[in-house]
């Protein structure tokens, strides 16, 4: 008796799960016509909007009926179809989009692996993460460690923009293991995700120190640019390193270091900033020195004098051009 009931439930559940949705012929033809239009016009957003107006379960059913043949005939047409699937919350839709995030596809005839275009893969990741759920995140998180650096960077940026906290730990592992020149952008994007999303000051300080101590000036500049306003808890080493960079650097790195001194409110850097203001000729570096002094809450009257000096000098010397002079005048008004 019990076995009979179990078999009854299994068979009924299987039939329910496997039942294909019957799409009215008129609607099937309408959907198919719109999908065919995408083959030669895959960037047309109006076609996509028209498809999304039709009942979701019908659209999904027809897409699954034709998706393999569409990819074989016109791979570019898959891009908008993958975007459409991102609007559906069924398990089948999510699994299918995940397939298009994979680096290779198989040809039916000989099972030969062929490389999937990066554009399709990036579209698939963005489509899966159109809405957030544990299942969707689980299908994408592995791609933070992908072998294609450009794709990897895109995944990291998407996780950061979507504020997906599950990406912090794998991003930190990627950051520590990305030392080659090819992985430069990957390392910066991983760092950006960590600085923006992590609540662990130790992790964030380690990331910043690693970057601003790097032998590569571009990595140091990227690290300085990522320093958050107000800094992190227990970031004395970061602050000390910023002071060192101001003393030794020049050009764009010096400008970013002065800006960082302001963001970190480094009060013991006031004298150094005033000296730098006097020594450098670059108007943007001068402006960053003055704005840093403002953020550090340097004496307002003394700061006004310093700003006025720069404006007065511009009247006798041509180092301040129109836009730069306006910037200094605005800062003076702001301080007032």
pLDDT-derived band at 60, boundaries 50, 70, 90: confident
- Mean pLDDT over residues 132-155, rounded? 96
pLDDT at 334: 87
pLDDT at 317: 61
Q: Which residues contact 217 (CB under 8 A, 6 or more apart)?
A: 253
Rounded-to-integer distance, Cα 264 and Cα 266, Å: 5
Whole-structure pTM value: 0.84
Q: Is 104 helix (H, G, I), strand (E, B) or coil?
A: strand
CB 23 within 8 A of CB 62: yes
Rounded-to-integer distance, Cα 254 and Cα 242, Å: 9
CB 92 within 8 A of CB 124: no
pLDDT at 8: 37
Tell me the per-residue pLDDT of 114-138, one tens digit each, with 9 for 90 and over.
788 899 999 999 999 999 999 999 9
Element (DSSP H or E) covering residue 204: helix 201-212
Which residue has better confidence, 110 or 287? 287
Q: Tokens at residue 331, please?
A: 């800062």
Across the chain, which distance is largest between two alpha carbons, in Å? 103
Domain boundaries, the chain: 18-131, 146-198, 201-298
pLDDT at 125: 97
Report whether pLDDT(175) > 70: yes
Which residue has better confidence, 111 or 232? 232
Q: Which residues contact 32 (CB under 8 A, 6 or more apart)?
A: 62, 66
Tell me the per-residue pLDDT of 1-45, one tens digit each, with 9 for 90 and over.
443 433 333 334 333 334 467 777 777 778 777 777 776 666 677
Q: State the pairing for strand pair 113-115/104-106.
A: antiparallel
Report whether pLDDT(237) > 90: yes
- Mean pLDDT over residues 54-65, rounded? 83
pLDDT-derived band at 321, boundaries 50, 70, 90: low
Report whether pLDDT(336) > 70: yes
Tell me the per-residue pLDDT of 255-308, one tens digit each, with 9 for 90 and over.
999 999 999 999 999 999 999 999 998 989 999 999 999 999 999 999 999 999
Which residue has better confidence, 184 or 178? 184
| Of the candidates 286, 279, 187, 291, the residue with the CA atom closest to the CA atom of residue 229 | 291
Rounded-to-integer distance, Cα 93 and Cα 68, Å: 14
Element (DSSP H or E) covering residue 105: strand 104-106
Identify the DSSP state of 115: E
Report whether pLDDT(106) > 70: no
Rounded-to-integer distance, Cα 288 and Cα 200, Å: 29
pLDDT at 318: 58
Per-chain mean pLDDT for the chain: 86
Q: State which fold the 201-298 domain adopts.
A: 1.25.10
> How far, in Å, are 63, 290, 307, 336 from residue 329 at the CA level?
60, 12, 8, 11
pLDDT at 160: 98
Which residue has better confidence, 180 or 233? 233
Which residue has better confidence, 119 or 77? 119
Please say whether the dihedral angle defined by the alpha carbons of residues 85, 89, 93 and 95, taken in this order, is positive or negative. positive
pLDDT at 28: 76
Tell me the per-residue pLDDT of 189-229, one tens digit each, with 9 for 90 and over.
999 999 999 999 999 999 999 999 999 999 999 999 999 99
Rounded-to-integer distance, Cα 134 and Cα 4, Å: 36
């Amino acid at each position: 008796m019990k076995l009979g009931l179990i078999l009854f439930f299994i068979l009924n559940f299987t039939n329910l799960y496997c039942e294909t949705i019957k799409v009215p012929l008129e609607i099937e033809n309408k959907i198919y016509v719109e999908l065919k239009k995408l083959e030669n016009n895959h960037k047309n957003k109006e076609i996509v909007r028209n498809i999304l107006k039709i009942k979701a379960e019908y659209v999904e059913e027809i897409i699954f009926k034709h998706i393999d043949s569409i990819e074989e005939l016109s791979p570019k047409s898959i891009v908008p179809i993958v975007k459409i699937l991102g609007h559906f919350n069924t398990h089948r839709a999510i699994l299918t989009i995940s397939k298009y995030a994979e680096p290779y596809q198989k040809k039916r005839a000989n099972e030969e692996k062929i490389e999937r275009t990066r554009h399709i893969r990036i579209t698939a990741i963005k489509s899966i993460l159109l809405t957030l759920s544990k299942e969707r995140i689980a299908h994408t998180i592995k791609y933070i460690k992908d072998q294609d650096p450009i794709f990897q960077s895109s995944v990291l940026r998407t996780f950061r923009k979507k504020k997906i906290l599950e990406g912090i730990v794998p991003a930190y592992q990627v950051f520590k293991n990305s030392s080659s020149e090819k992985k430069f952008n990957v390392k910066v994007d991983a760092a950006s995700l960590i600085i923006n999303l992590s609540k662990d000051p130790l992790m964030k300080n380690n990331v910043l120190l690693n970057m601003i101590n790097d032998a590569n000036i571009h990595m140091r500049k990227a690290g300085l640019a990522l320093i958050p306003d107000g800094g992190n808890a227990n970031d004395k080493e970061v602050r000390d390193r910023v002071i060192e960079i101001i003393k030794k650097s020049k050009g764009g790195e010096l400008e970013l270091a002065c800006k960082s001194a302001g963001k970190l409110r480094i009060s013991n850097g006031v004298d150094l900033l005033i000296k730098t203001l006097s020594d450098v000729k670059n108007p943007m570096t001068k402006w960053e020195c003055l704005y840093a002094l403002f953020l550090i809450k340097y004496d307002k009257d003394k700061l006004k004098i310093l700003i006025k000096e720069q404006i007065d000098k511009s009247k006798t010397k041509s180092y301040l051009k129109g836009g730069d002079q306006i910037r200094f005048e605005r800062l003076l008004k702001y301080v007032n």
